[in-house]
Amino acid sequence: MTRSARCAVLLAALALSSAQVFAMGSREQKAPGSVQETAPAKYVFLFIGDGMSMAQVSAAEVYSNALASKTPGQARLGFTQFPSQGLTTTYDSSSIITDSASAGTAIATGNKTASGVINMDPGKTLKFKTIAEYAKEMGWKVGVVSNVSLDHATPASFYAKVPSRGDMYSIATQLVASGFDYFGGGGFAQPRGKKGDQADVLAIAREAGYRIVNTADGFRKLDAASAGKVIAINETLQDSEAMPYEIDRHPDDLSLADYVAKGIELLMNDKGFFLAVESGKIDWACHANDAAASIGDTLAFDSAIAVAVAFQKLHPEDTLIVVTGDHETGGMSLGFAGTKYTTAFERVSAQTGSYVAFDQTVLDPYKDGRSPGEGSLKDLLPEIQRFFGIDVNALPIKDREMVERAFVRSMKGEVERAAQEDTYLLYGGYEPLTVTLTHIANQSAGIGWTTYSHTGVPVPTYALGNGQQLFDGYYDNTDIFRKLAAVMNVRLPATN
Ligand SMILES: [Zn+2]
């Protein structure tokens, strides 16, 4: 980083006004076009690809290229062409490998905390103020979009403070109490609490003045003039109150891009808005080692970001778009021991549904009514071909035996499987048959996985618009908060 850029970052981190900066020193201390020379941004988008690091982004680009060309290459996504790019470290206070709660806390508040904690210190006594709350305090409108449940760790990081991300009912009531203007995407995982004995959070939200919409039709009819504060829950929810994977999405269903477009429509005003958008199922796909689902959601994430880019083109002076990941998931890699220096990413397109869709529509119904030991893999071969593009009979004998063993394990059911800790490396707590099939499909494309959890590698961060240059370089996830605060001209207390 150059001296002037370093200086710009430092000044921005201190959130000094342009007048103060000018008073401090000569013009050469400022990077050209830096925030100190222009008015602060007032339309700020923060996109978080959950579980999205370089491999997830590159896999989507290599896949797109492989569909169109036999020459090796990467068809660039829109956001990877942003003019400012950085690398962001993601460790938290308890581990090199963060979880979404502590990562969200770092990004939203600038503070490191322990895994599982949202917007509180590791001792779980202090509470941290979020960038979204600062925005609301400045009179901006605020929106939070996620395609997983709205009370999940990443969206919660913008409005809730809880000792444990598992306190989803408390998170949900804090969502209502936030008074933020627009929540959209998934539903609530515990709308009546863990035991189902609490007041319905949707009723509480209605009483607090929120309009609840849970049909695509109702969503499309929302307009800024009459909507008021909105909680928009997707009509189709696939797993754990989340929107469907892009690979499973019906063309008539709403997409993440639709939620961003509606957010802009509802939040637009002269003072400003802050819109946080999470693509949460890149992470879920990678936990399950399902590259096709991850790539589909990464491409859909790019389409959602493109909606913000179109807005930025209309309001270039006032807009900042930041895209980052909260951590990597799965230890995904472009390369696998079995395929050495070759890849065949076009094969990913042979998969037509996610691991979840296969479980829900094929495997679970097949298991229903059959006792362990019953059933034959033969019955499922046509569906396996249809979902994963795998002709099991044409596989090498070792792979075929692996699928057979996995089928037997799946038929034995959840309880017995959980006790088989020796099978964790093979199946990671997922349906043995399904995860074996995604492994075979991914490996034949040259995609490898090392874990069913997160990893500690840094993530890329991309920025476009007013203040973009602050996001160049190599910095920590806590710095994202300070950079956003600088561009938004948030007055931080001295301790932050
Ligand atoms: Zn995460």
- At residue 39 the predicted structure's pLDDT band, cuts being 50, 70 and 90, is confident
Tell me what pLDDT residue 494 has. Answer: 78
Q: Are strands 473-476 and 319-325 parallel, antiparallel or unpaired?
A: unpaired
Tell me what pLDDT residue 422 has. Answer: 80
Tell me what the pLDDT averaged over the chain comes to: 92
Residues 171 and 153: their CA atoms lie apart, in Å, by 9
Number of Cα atoms under 13 Å in the Cβ half of residue 84: 23
Q: Which residues pair with 184 in a beta bridge?
A: 145, 232
Tell me what pLDDT residue 418 has. Answer: 62
State the CB neighbour count (10 A cutoff) for residue 285: 30
Residues 494 and 20: their CA atoms lie apart, in Å, by 16
DSSP string across 117-156: -BSB-TTS--B---HHHHHHHTT-EEEEEESS-TTSHHHH
Cα 234 to middle of ligand 1, angstroms: 21
Q: Which two tokens stand for residue 46?
A: 């923060």
- Evaluate if residue 68 carries a pLDDT over 60: yes
Tell me what pLDDT residue 3 has. Answer: 39
Tell me what pLDDT residue 4 has. Answer: 42
Q: DSSP secondary-structure letter at 289?
A: T
Cα 452 to middle of ligand 1, angstroms: 13
Instruction: For ligand 1, an ion, list residues with CB under 5 A.
Output: 50, 100, 283, 326
Cα 373 to middle of ligand 1, angstroms: 37
Phi, psi of 332 (to 5 degrees): -65, 140
Tell me what pLDDT residue 420 has. Answer: 72
Cα 329 to middle of ligand 1, angstroms: 8
Cα 164 to middle of ligand 1, angstroms: 15
Of 232, 273, 248, which is closest to residue 354 (Cα–Cα)?
248
Alpha carbon separation from 61 to 75, 123, 143, 280, 299 (Å, rounded):
5, 42, 29, 19, 9
Cα 149 to middle of ligand 1, angstroms: 13
Q: DSSP secondary-structure letter at 243?
A: P
Domains of the chain by range and CATH?
3-36 (no CATH), 43-331+458-487 (3.40.720.10), 333-448 (no CATH)
Cα 101 to middle of ligand 1, angstroms: 7
Alpha carbon separation from 460 to 87, 322, 379, 449 (Å, rounded):
5, 11, 44, 19
Query: What ranges in 141-200 are assigned the alpha helix state H?
Result: 153-156, 168-178
Q: Which residues pair with 286 in a beta bridge?
A: none
- Evaluate if residue 495 carries a pLDDT over 70: no
pLDDT 10s digits, 113-164: 999 999 999 999 999 999 999 999 999 999 999 999 999 999 999 999 999 9
Cα 484 to middle of ligand 1, angstroms: 20
pTM of the model: 0.92
- At residue 415 the predicted structure's pLDDT band, cuts being 50, 70 and 90, is low
Cα 51 to middle of ligand 1, angstroms: 5
